[in-house]
Amino acid sequence: MVYRNRTTTTTSRNRLSDRDMLLDLLATGKNMSHLYDHAIMEASNSTIRDTFETLQHDEHMIADTVFGVMEQEGWYSTGADRQNQAQNMGNSQRQSGDFDTQASSRYAASSGSPRFGGNLAGRGQSSRSGRSQSRPGTASQMEWTL
């Protein structure tokens, strides 16, 4: 699951944003759906099984509605969305075949990751000096925390 706007997660302390509420309901529903799935499989009594199946169906309907609202609000990004984002960012994790020189140099400048890999091959002091050389230090740190 990939969520788009991390900043909208929690608006204030002790209070969930609307998005988080729906997200929580979605997660709870998913959990219950698993429970019902097992219950249906293990029921030996047809009435009980039918009941569980009805409840399971309702669960699916609820999840569908909640998901619809979240998608409409842009709170829940699906795979297609994520792919667009990756292309916009020039970050082609998913299609490493498209990793052209421009993208890789941008990647090196922004996150310093290739340099970091080089440090692993070398050792000790060189790694420290290599790290301090990477210019946009704050930017690289931010990327790492992501």
* Residues of the shown chain interacting with another protein in the complex, contacts defined by CB under 8 A: 15-16, 18, 21-22, 24-25, 28-29, 31-32, 35-36, 38-39, 42-48, 51-52, 54-55, 58, 62, 65-66, 69
Cβ at position 139, least distance to another protein in Å? 34
| Closer CB to another protein, 29 or 112, in the complex | 29
Contacts of 107 (CB under 8 A, 6+ apart): 90, 91, 113, 114
Cβ at position 15, least distance to another protein in Å? 6
| Closer CB to another protein, 33 or 92, in the complex | 33
| Closer CB to another protein, 59 or 111, in the complex | 59
Check: CB of residue 22 under 8 Å from CB of residue 66. yes
C-alpha to C-alpha distance for 2 and 59, rounded to whole angstroms:
22
Greatest distance between any 2 Cα atoms in the chain: 71
| Closer CB to another protein, 58 or 100, in the complex | 58
